[in-house]
Homo-oligomer: A and B are copies of this chain.
Amino acid sequence: MNTVKIAQNARNAANKLQYVTTQEKSVALDKIKNILTDKKQDIFKANRQDKENAEKLVNAELLSVSLFKRLDLEKGDKFDTMLKGISDIDQLPDPTGQITYSSKLDEGLELYRVTCPVGVLLVIFEARPEVVVNISALAIKSGNSVILKGGKESAFSLNALSTAIRSALADTVIPSDAIQLVETREEIKSLLDLDEYIDLVIPRGSNSLVKYIQSNTRIPVLGHADGLCSVYVDKDADLDKAVRIVVDSKVNYPAACNSAETLLVNRSILSTHLIPIATALQNANVRLHLDSESLSHLPTPTTNSSLIQECVTEDFDTEFLDLDIAVKVVGNVEEAIQHINSHGSKHTDSIVTENDQVAKRFMQGVDAAGVYWNASTRFADGFRYGFGAEVGVSTNKTHARGPVGLEGLVIYKYKLCGNGHIVGEFGEGSGKKKYLHENVDGTCKTVL
C-alpha cells in the first residue's frame, strides 16, 4: 500500500476515535488480549522464524547477542507480561476528556479546556516485538491511531502480532486502521513528509535516528534519545550512599539510557571518597576513564589494571552503554552543573550530598528531565514513576519530558459554549460588556 493511503487511513481512524468511549476502549483492549492469548502458538511460530534468521546473523557476528535476546517472545514470562501490560493500561484512568481549565467569560458563555487525543502517531522502535502490543494498547487507551515501524529483525513477530490486533479491532467500534504496520525505511522517509495527516513522530532508538528524523520532517518529534547521565558526589556526600548510588547507577543495567556514564567528584573529598567508590566500581568490573587529577589520587593498580585508564576528552560526551564510566574532578556544585549542562543529554542527573541547599542548587541549575538527590539515576522510568506504562523517555523541552506515559499522547481543545454571543458587544466604552473570567456554572455540561 502506498504511504499516503496508509496515512489517510490512520487519519480517518483517528477521526472516528474522537467519539469512542472509555468503555468501548476497554472492550477493544480486552478483545486484543483474548485474541493474542488464542493465537499464542501462531505468534511463537512467527517469532521462531525471526530467531532462526537472527541466529545466523549472530553466528556471523552481524547481530549482537543482546539484540537476539530481546527478540525472544518465548523466554520466561515475557508473553504473559506483555498480556498483563494490556490489562494494566486498561485499568489506568482515561487521559482524554479531562477538564484542565475553565472560565465563565460572560453570563451563558463558558470556556472549558478538555484533553483529547493528539491524533495520528508514527512510532519507530527497536527490534522488540512486544513493543507493538504495548504501544497499540497505549494508543487505543489515549484515542490515537498509530503507524508502527519496528526493527527489521522482528518482522515476522510484528506481523503476527499486528495482524492479531487488527483482527480483534475488526470486531469493535474502533477501526482496524487505528493500528497499522509499515516495514521499510523508505516508507518512513515518505511518511515523514505527510504532516497533513500525521501529528507526532516518536522515534525510539539511537541519537542519530532521532536527529535524522528531526532534520527531515515538519511533524513534531518526541525525541527518545539515548541518555548521558551523570552522578555528582558533593563534598558533603555520605560515603556509603555515594558508593551505593554510583554503583547502582552504572551497574544495574549498563545498556539502559538511564545508566550513569559520568562520575563527577568534588575535589575536597578525593582522599576520602574516591578510592572506596573506585574500588566498588572495579569490583563490579567497571572500567574507569579518569581525568589526570582523579587518576593521580588512585593507588597504582596491582590487580585489575585494565580497569583503570586515563580518559580522553570524548569520554565525557560518550554514552558507553557498557561497564565504563568517565570520572572528572570538579571544584564545587556550580562546576558540576556547568559540566552536566554542557555534556549531558538532559535525561537524568543525580547529586549525592547531605547539604539540602546544595541539592536545591543542583536541582534548579541542572537542565534535565530528571534531577535527583541521593538516588540512583536508574529510577528514571515510567513504571517506577507510577505511570503504569511508558511510550519512551523524552529529552525534549516541549510537550512531554522524561518518562512519557499516556499524558504525552493527549493534547487539549478549547470548548466554548454560548447562546449567540458575539465579540462586537464587548469592549471599552459605555454599553459594552466586560469579560467576567469567573468560575463556571456548568452551561457546557451537556456537550462535554
Query: Once the chains are docked, how many angstroms separate the CA of A369 from the CA of B401?
Result: 22
In the complex, how many residues of chain A place their beta carbon closer than 8 angstroms to a beta carbon of chain B?
81
The reply on A364 being an interface residue by CB < 8 A is yes
Q: Which B residues lie within 8 Å of A375 (CB)?
A: 109, 416-418, 420-422
* Interface residue ranges of A94-140 to B (CB < 8 Å): 103, 105, 109, 111, 118-119
Query: Of all chain B residues, which has the CB nearest A365?
Result: B18
Contacts A360-B446, A360-B447, A374-B421 hold; do A367 and B105 have CB atoms under 8 A apart? no
Contact A370 B401 (CB under 8 A): no
Contact A15 B105 (CB under 8 A): no
Contact B384 A420 (CB under 8 A): no
Interface pick from A39-47, A159-167, A183-191, A241-249: A241-249
Task: Name the distance in Å between A348's Cβ and chain B's nearest Cβ.
Answer: 8
The reply on A27 being an interface residue by CB < 8 A is no
Contact A414 B376 (CB under 8 A): no
Copies of this chain, whole number: 2
Contacts A105-B386, A423-B378, A423-B384 hold; do A397 and B220 have CB atoms under 8 A apart? yes
Task: Name the distance in Å between A139's Cβ and chain B's nearest Cβ.
Answer: 14
Q: Which B residues lie within 8 Å of A421 (CB)?
A: 245, 374-376, 379
Q: Which B residues lie within 8 Å of A361 (CB)?
A: 19
* Interface residue ranges of A394-439 to B (CB < 8 Å): 396-399, 401-403, 411-424, 426, 435, 437
Mark A216-227 against chain B: 1 for CB-CB distance below 8 A, else 0: 001011100000
The reply on A314 being an interface residue by CB < 8 A is no
The reply on A252 being an interface residue by CB < 8 A is yes
Contact A364 B18 (CB under 8 A): yes
Q: Which B residues lie within 8 Å of A396 (CB)?
A: 220
Contact B356 A446 (CB under 8 A): yes
Contact B369 A414 (CB under 8 A): yes
Contacts A386-B103, A402-B413 hold; do A420 and B238 have CB atoms under 8 A apart? yes
Contacts A248-B422, A447-B359 hold; do A401 and B412 have CB atoms under 8 A apart? yes
The reply on A307 being an interface residue by CB < 8 A is no
CB within 8 A of A372: which of B364, B365, B385, B418?
B418
Query: Of all chain B residues, which has the CB nearest A196?
Result: B342
The reply on A373 being an interface residue by CB < 8 A is yes
Query: Once the chains are docked, how many angstroms separate the CA of A380 from the CA of B416?
Result: 9
Contact B415 A371 (CB under 8 A): yes
Task: Name the distance in Å between A129's Cβ and chain B's nearest Cβ.
Answer: 22
Contacts A401-B413, A413-B369, A416-B379 hold; do A437 and B386 have CB atoms under 8 A apart? yes
Query: Once the chains are docked, how many angstroms separate the CA of A396 from the CA of B399?
Result: 11
Residues of chain A touching chain B, judged by Cβ–Cβ distance below 8 Å, are 15, 18-19, 103, 105, 109, 111, 118-119, 195, 199-200, 211, 214-215, 218, 220-222, 238, 240-241, 244-245, 247-248, 252, 337, 341, 356, 359-361, 363-365, 367-376, 378-380, 383-386, 396-399, 401-403, 411-424, 426, 435, 437, 444, 446-448
Given A15-B341, A379-B418, 14 further pairs, Cβ under 8 A: A103-B385, A105-B385, A195-B214, A199-B397, A220-B221, A248-B423, A369-B414, A370-B416, A372-B417, A384-B426, A397-B411, A398-B399, A398-B411, A399-B399
In the complex, the 6 A-B pairs of residues with the closest C-beta atoms, listed nearest first = A375-B418, A241-B420, A248-B422, A214-B218, A378-B423, A386-B437
5 A-B pairs whose Cβ atoms sit less than 8 Å apart in the complex: A111-B386, A195-B214, A356-B446, A374-B421, A379-B418
